[in-house]
Copies of this chain bind each other. A is one copy, B any other.
């Protein structure tokens, strides 16, 4: 395989000139042309590691998230990848599986590799390991004032869910969520829902699960079966994610109450498993494409010296699908 010396020889220039040309340092037009011809002739491929060393940066962005195996994360990864491609950037995909040490490994790796930056949806406490000169954008989780932060309006979204249930005739409310580490949108959703119910003087109950993700579907089923066995205590359910809403639908399959006739149900996310998938659960939809777009914009203009934070709280909307009744 041809190396830089071969190119220099064929072009009749010094190795340094070839090196400058490849690393974007200006060389005379006539020499640049000869070098370009020689590169094509020899089918020379510059060594990226050498270039990264020289430029002290790479064109890779690390995307750290717990998993890509949910509709929300798959759709988000899809759109982030599209935005990166528009900017000639590549994605190093880092599924942390919620393991703190793994996330930390990725942050270290990112520093070693001199990646252009990190986009993270971290559910663990990597804050002390983030330095101010590493471009980073956080989705959904607030770190500190120097880390740009992109999230959906979880509080207003949950208020909207309660409001839509209410105006479609529900009177007694149930919210379903699972406890997760601090600072997540989930809690904003809880607060928004409670705020609406209190303001309107509505009865509500919160089912807050403290267990692991594994087995949550079964625990929801047991809870719903128990609560709804003899009566229909809540006629409006807000599940803080669409996945939990699907668990609720499963739980109702062997009960005498029908969705949405007896019980209305609203989820949260509006993510699809594939492009144009028809959705059925009424939901508070996040603008996933916009989250991706804003995150990459923030990353590209990152400035760790700023003392204030760029905080983007993106609007959500209600999608009236098959688990809510029509307005009269």
Contact = CB atoms under 8 A, between A and B. Distances in A.
Per assembly, the copies of the chain total 2
A67 to B, nearest CB: 6
Nearest to A90: B92
A272 to B, nearest CB: 8
A102 B85 contact: yes
A325 to B, nearest CB: 19
B68 A95 contact: no
Contacts of A243: 274
Interface residues of A, number: 49
Given A69-B275, A90-B94, A243-B274, A114 B75 contact: no
7 contacts: A45-B112, A49-B49, A60-B92, A82-B95, A91-B92, A91-B93, A246-B277
Contacts of A112: 45-48
A78 interface: yes
A274 B92 contact: no
Interface stretch (A50-58, A156-164, A230-238): A50-58
Contact of A217 (B45, B90, B276): B276
A50 B47 contact: no
A23 to B, nearest CB: 13
A273 B92 contact: no
Interface of A: 45-50, 52-53, 58, 60, 67-71, 74-75, 77-78, 81-82, 85, 90-95, 97, 102, 108-109, 111-114, 213-214, 217, 243, 246, 250, 272-278
A19 to B, nearest CB: 14
Given A49-B52, A112-B48, A278-B250, A68 B60 contact: no
Nearest to A62: B90
A113 B115 CA distance: 13
Given A49-B50, A74-B74, A214-B275, 17 more contacts: A47-B53, A47-B112, A49-B113, A68-B74, A68-B77, A69-B272, A69-B273, A70-B273, A70-B274, A71-B274, A81-B95, A91-B92, A92-B93, A217-B278, A243-B274, A246-B277, A273-B273
Nearest to A57: B49
Contacts of A93: 77, 81, 91-93
Contacts of A46: 112
Given A69-B75, A275-B69, A276-B217, A48 B95 contact: no
Contacts of A95: 78, 81-82, 85
Give the most central of A49, A246, A276: most B CB within 10 Å.
Answer: A49
A309 to B, nearest CB: 25
A3 to B, nearest CB: 12
Contacts of A272: 69
